[in-house]
Amino acid sequence: MIKMKRLIIAAVFLFIAGLPASLFAGEFRDLGQDYRSLAMGNTGIASANNSSALFYNPATLSNIYNWWFDFPMLEVTASSESMALYGQAKTGSFNLETQDEQFDFMRDFIGQNPYIKFRLGSNIFFNVLKQGMSVGANYTYEAVLDIQVRNPSLPTLDAFARLDHVRQAGISIPMAMGRFILGVVRKQIERKEVAFNYGMSDAIDEVPFPTMDTDGKSGAGEGYDVGFIFRTASKSRIQIGGVYRQEIDLQDATKIPKEIAFGASMVHNFGNLRFTGAVDLRDITSELTPDDKTNYNRRLRYGAELGLFPLSRNTTMFSFRTGYSNGYPSTGVEMYFGHAMIIGYTRYIEETGEYAGQNPSSRQVAYASFGF
């Protein structure tokens, strides 16, 4: 109930207040980053095995050996500094309409980076052939609010808000007796976003505070991802995967950049324990970091998962995860009660600057899905 209230508040101020931020050049704002992948260092090119498969690599649909339907899927990501924002929203004191309110907000949040991401969606996945043919589709509504108030001497409020509606459907097709899997996903994306800097001088001059309605940019587009998985003939189910994401033009809104990424994973069972390891090398062609093509530390990610009491080839009752991404460790846990209810929690750090340690944003993710 409390979580729902938070979600509502977050959604309300995204829609109504039409809030804050500039495009923080350092953060890779990928669509569909989910709690499991984030806990495992944001890996998933070869290791995704849940509803995020269509976002990471459609060929990983082959890691799904059962079927399910989620409704709803809820995921909330928040930085530790967003709690103060939530506190204001809860008491109704959060407002940026008047000059005094803007000054007070700048004063209260100087040096802070409140970040909230809210995902709501529904997924349906179905394994057709054990060799690796699966189909899946999902609808995801993703809202991000990212605020940063910089510079105590003359504060500037950098704000970024984005609303994405993503519809996608994909299939994985086994080849060579299931050793090689080809995956394709078709995406439709509608995006509305606003990014701005609102400085002290704007507040003094009583420049109207930008909102999504008055200053937002929007667009829609379609595109596809093509991926593959190569499965080695080993007990440890070692897989090598790759994906090519087509650039998706979204008219006035920020495009979805092209990406080529590779990954490897392994899954090994030890009785009631299951160990999963994963390594991803993302953004091979440096589309997200055009000015710095050498920063592999940002793009090389790896993670591990220890599952207790396997329930199927891709699910365990309890999961403990850790990973390394952007130069920071991540951790997470999950409880799986069939597809009736899945609860997950992840802590990770996102680098919003150029290199690890420059401007980290510590975040927590809460996930819950219900279905059958």
Partner 1 sequence: MKKDQLSGYQFLPTLIGILFIVLTIAISSCQDTGPKTVAGKLESCKGFLDESAWSSAIDMCKDVSTDEGWHLTAQAYMGRAGLSMFSLLRSLTDPDAVPTNLIFGYIPDTTADSDDYKSALDAIMLKVETKTPTMYLESLLLSSMLVFREMKLLLGLGIDATGDFTTCAGNPPAVENCAFAPKITTITQTIVGVDVEIPDQLVFGGLGASFYDNLCDNHIADPTHDGVSTIDMTVDASVDVFDGANDGIMSVTHDVTADGCQIKNTSVLHYNKVANANFAGMSTISALSMLDFYSKFDSGVNFSIDIATIGLVTFCKSGIIEPPAANDYWLNDCEVLNFLLNPGL
Q: How far is the CB of 220 from partner 1 (least distance, A)?
A: 29
Instruction: By CB under 8 A, tell whether 110 contacts partner 1.
Output: yes
The answer to the question of residue 173 lying near partner 1 (CB under 8 A) is no
CA distance 322 to 138: 26
Can you tell me which of 32, 114, 199, 242 binds partner 1, judged by CB under 8 A?
199
The one-character DSSP state at 339 is B
Q: Is 54 exposed, middle or buried (0-12, 13-18, 19+ CB in 10 A)?
A: buried
| Using rule CB under 8 A, residue 150 touches partner 1 | yes
Q: Which is nearer to partner 1, 92 or 235 (CB)?
A: 235
Tell me if 196 sits within 8 A of 159, measured CB to CB.
yes
Burial of 348 (0-12, 13-18, 19+ CB in 10 A): buried
Residue 150 corresponds to which tokens in the numbers above? 């910089």
Q: Which stretch binds partner 1 (CB under 8 A): 44-52, 80-88, 103-111, 162-170?
A: 103-111
Residues 238-297, interacting with partner 1 (CB under 8 A): 238, 266, 268, 275, 277, 279, 291-292, 295-297
The residue count for binding partner 1 (CB under 8 A) is 48
C-alpha angle 19-23-27 in degrees, rounded to nearest 5: 115
Q: Does 84 bind partner 1 (CB under 8 A)?
A: no
Burial 78-110 (b: 16+ CB within 10 A, else e): bbebbeebbebbeeeebebeeeeebeebbeebb
Find the angle CA(2)-CA(350)-CA(252) to the nearest 5 degrees: 90
Which position among 108, 206, 213, 252 is part of the footprint of partner 1 (CB under 8 A)?
206
Nearer to partner 1, 12 or 273 (CB): 273
Closest approach of partner 1 to the CB of residue 301, in Å: 9
CB of 104 to partner 1, least distance (A): 10
- Any contact of residue 205 with partner 1 (CB under 8 A)? yes
Q: Minimum CB separation from partner 1 for residue 153, in Å?
A: 4
